[in-house]
Amino acid sequence: MEERNETPINSNPYWWNAAPIPVGLDKVPNQADVLIVGSGITAMSAAITLLRNGRKVTVIDQNKIGSGASRRNAGYVSRSFKHSFADLEKKHGLEYAIKLHRELDESVKSVQEFVDTYHLDCELKFLGRLMPAPNSKHFQSLEQDLAKQKHHLGFEYQMLDKSELQTELATDSYYGAALIPDLGGIHPGKYHAELLKVALSLGLEVCEEVKALEICSAGETKQVNTTKGIISAKELILATNGYTDLLFPWLRRRIIPFDAYMIATEDLPNQLAQKIIPHNRVVIDTSHNPLFVRQSPDGKSILLGGLTATKQASSEEKGHHLAKILKRLLPDLEGASIAHSWTGKCSGTFDLYPHAGQHEGIYYSLGYCFVGVPMGTYLGKKLALNLLGKNEGKTLFFNRKFPTIPFYKENPWFLSTVFKYYDHLDKGTPAYDFAY
C-alpha cells in the first residue's frame, strides 16, 4: 500500500522557505524605456545588463515577482545540451560542435560571473554532476560523448562502475555513471532573490500581477495593453519561457511548454542526506525522461524531480507518486516524509535549441529545454547586449532560424505522444520502472 504523509504536503517550492516571494509594486507606469514581460532569471540578467549601461528598465509579471520556474527549479548548473557532440559534428561540422559547446561552458561561467561580480549569496557550488546510467548501452553512449568533449574541449569526466557509483549514491539501481567534476548546483530561490536585489539597487522598477494582454503597436514605440493599463516603451523584451502565452502568437507557435515536478523530504535525521549523496553531487540519470536528485544546500533533506510532462494532478498526488519513486530509488529514505511537492513550467523548442533574438522589433529569450539557470543568465545578458548594439552580444543562439510546425498555435497535442515514446525507450530504467 502507498505510504501516506502524516503531515500535509506544502505545494510551495522548498526554495521559498529561504527565499520567500517578494512583494512588488502595485501600480504600473504608462511609459517605460525598456519593458520586460516576465520576472525570472532571464529578465533579471537582461535588466542588470541594461541598467548598468544606463537604460531604464521596467519589469512586469502576471504573478508575483520571480514566482515562475526561476524559483521552482532544481538549481542544476550545467552545460548539457539535447544534441550530442557527435550529432552536432555530423550535422554541422567539428568547428561548429566545438563552438557551441564552448558557449554552453560560457553559460555556466556566466552564473559564476554574476555571483562573483555582485557577491551573490546563493550557495553556488561546483561539486560535480553525477550521471547514473541504467544499462551498458546508456553508459557507453555517455562515455563516447564525454570522451569527444574531453578530446576537443578539455572538459573533464570520469566513468564509474557500479561499485564506484555506490560510493556516490546510495542505490543499486544503476549500471554505472559518469562524474563531471566541474559542474554543480545553486540555491535557485536565493539566486533569483539576489539578482532581483542587485537589479533593484540599480533602479529596476518591478510591477507584480500585471498581465500583458496585447501588443497594440510594435512600431518605433511599443504599446502593450496590460490588465492595469497601456504601457508605452521604446523596447520590449519577452522573457516568459514556459509561461509564454498568445501575447505574441509568432513566439507562442515556436515554444512547447511542459510541466516539471519536484519533491523535498522533511529534514532527515543523522546525516542521512550525506549518507545518500556523500560527496554532494547533483545527480541526473541518463533516461529520456530523467530522474534528478540532490541534497538541499543545507544538507538536511533530499530533493527529487521526475515525471516531467506527465498528466497534471494535485501537488499532493504528484508528491505521493514521486515519493514512491524516491523510496524505491533510495531505500534508506523508506520512512521519510515529504515536506514539499511543487510544479513549474519549462519550455522546449522544435529544434531543441534555446533561442534569443528579435522579431518584428520585439526581443525574446526562451526555450531553454531544462537548462534555463545557466542559459537564462547567459542569454538574458546577451540579449541585452544586442539591444544595446554591442558586439559582445554575439552568440550562436541569437536570431537563428526558429522553427515551428504547421497548424501549431498553442496546444501541444503531440507532447503526450513524444513522452509516451520516451517512456517506451525508458522501459527497464528506474525512471520508468519505479514510476509505473
Ligand X SMILES: Cc1cc2nc3c(=O)[nH]c(=O)nc-3n(C[C@H](O)[C@H](O)[C@H](O)COP(=O)(O)OP(=O)(O)OC[C@H]3O[C@@H](n4cnc5c(N)ncnc54)[C@H](O)[C@@H]3O)c2cc1C
**Residue span binding ligand X (CB under 6 A) among the ranges 62-70, 311-319, 394-402, 418-426:** 62-70
Binding mask 22-41 for ligand X (x = CB under 6 A): ---------------xxxxx
Q: Does 104 bind ligand X (CB under 6 A)?
A: no
Taking the complex as a whole, the smallest distance from the CB of residue 96 to ligand X amounts, in Å, to 23
Q: Does 76 bind ligand X (CB under 6 A)?
A: yes
Q: Does 74 bind ligand X (CB under 6 A)?
A: yes
Q: Does 373 bind ligand X (CB under 6 A)?
A: yes
DSSP labels, 209-268:
S--EEEEEEESSSEEEEETTEEEEEEEEEE--GGG--TTSHHHHTT-EEEEEEEEEEPPP
Q: Does 14 bind ligand X (CB under 6 A)?
A: no
**Residue span binding ligand X (CB under 6 A) among the ranges 101-109, 241-249, 390-398, 404-412:** 241-249
> Distance between CA atoms of 354 and 142, rounded to whole angstroms?
22
H or E element at residue 396? none
Of the candidate residues 72, 129, 254, 382, the single one contacting ligand X (CB under 6 A): 72
Q: Does 107 bind ligand X (CB under 6 A)?
A: no
Taking the complex as a whole, the smallest distance from the CB of residue 216 to ligand X amounts, in Å, to 14
Q: Does 46 bind ligand X (CB under 6 A)?
A: no
Question: If 0-12 CB within 10 Å is exposed, 13-18 middle and 19+ buried, where does residue 17 land?
Answer: middle
Do residues 284 and 180 make contact, with C-beta atoms less than 8 angstroms apart? no
Task: Tell me the residue type at 271.
Answer: Q
Q: Does 371 bind ligand X (CB under 6 A)?
A: yes
Cell of 61: 509579471
Q: Does 43 bind ligand X (CB under 6 A)?
A: yes
DSSP labels, 288-343:
SS--EEEE-TTSS-EEEEE-TTPPP--HHHHHHHHHHHHHHH-GGGTTPPEEEEEE
Q: Does 367 bind ligand X (CB under 6 A)?
A: no
* Residue (69 or 89) nearer to ligand X, CB: 69
Q: Does 247 bind ligand X (CB under 6 A)?
A: yes
Taking the complex as a whole, the smallest distance from the CB of residue 403 to ligand X amounts, in Å, to 19
**Residue span binding ligand X (CB under 6 A) among the ranges 21-29, 132-140, 235-243, 411-419:** 235-243
Of the candidate residues 49, 58, 62, 286, the single one contacting ligand X (CB under 6 A): 62
Q: Which residue is nearest to ligand X (CB)?
A: 372
Of the candidate residues 24, 132, 242, 319, the single one contacting ligand X (CB under 6 A): 242
Q: Does 362 bind ligand X (CB under 6 A)?
A: no
135 SS3 class: coil
Place of cell 543499486: 172
Nearest to 278 by CA among 160, 188, 199: 160
Question: If 0-12 CB within 10 Å is exposed, 13-18 middle and 19+ buried, where does residue 47 land?
Answer: buried
Place of cell 520590449: 236
Question: If 0-12 CB within 10 Å is exposed, 13-18 middle and 19+ buried, where does residue 324 land?
Answer: middle
Residue ranges that bind ligand X, judged by CB under 6 A: 37-43, 60-63, 67-70, 72-76, 211-212, 239-243, 245, 247, 260, 262, 305, 344, 346, 366, 368, 370-374, 376
